[in-house]
Amino acid sequence: MTLSQFQVRFHGRGGQGVVTAAELLSVAAFYEGRYSQAFPTFGSERAGAPVAAFCRIADRQIRTRSPVSRPDAVVVGDATLLHSGDLFAGLGTDGYVLVNTSGGIDRPALDRRLAELQTERIAALPATELALRHLGRPVPNAVLLGGLAALCDVVSLASVQRAIAERFTGPLGAANQAAAAEAYAMVAHPAELSGASPD
């Protein structure tokens, strides 16, 4: 994928690994020979408090350090945040949306901008459930990255897994990689998995 700059904004709650997700995405992009940067909006936040983090990926040096105001993709790590603010501010009609939820997304009721997005650019992913099954903990960051890789193809699953393996070693790293791979398959082939029963 050739791009001048691709910007991702992550929204979640403290303790869900939102900042780590942005950092891992940045590392995955670096492995593919691109420039990247990742940073949170605030410093460390208490568990449960709303947190936002950003990642920029580009084919040339990134000079701006400001928060992402016009994202190409928005990742929502906690569906309870959907009605707490304008999470989709600045998102264009050609943007991508990935939401951590085990239910569907009521697009028109949620936001008019979502109603204008192409159906294939919006995905609901039960990331917390997958994290619990693979990791035994409700930390969906690696799962969301697997889903994002499938949704917008800005980085490959292999690069995401390599970034995960560098950050998390041993059984935890392997579990996170497996969770990301399952998330990738769920987003890339939703029709094939819609009737599948959980393990």
- For residue 102, pLDDT over 80 is answered with yes
- For residue 185, pLDDT over 80 is answered with yes
pLDDT in tens, 37-95: 999 886 555 667 888 999 999 999 998 888 899 999 999 999 888 877 788 889 988 99
Whether the CB-CB separation of 81 and 88 falls below 8 Å is answered with no
CA distances from 58 to 4, 15, 33, 36 (A): 5, 28, 10, 6
pLDDT at 195: 45
Global pTM value: 0.89
Q: What is the mean pLDDT of the chain?
A: 87
Per cent of the chain over pLDDT 70 is: 87
H/E element, 43? none
pLDDT at 198: 41
Q: Which of 27-36, 82-91, 92-101 has the highest mean pLDDT?
A: 27-36
The whole-number average pLDDT for the span 108-132 is 83
Q: Enumerate domains of the chain plus CATH numbers.
A: 5-193 (3.40.920.10)
The whole-number average pLDDT for the span 167-189 is 95
pLDDT at 118: 82
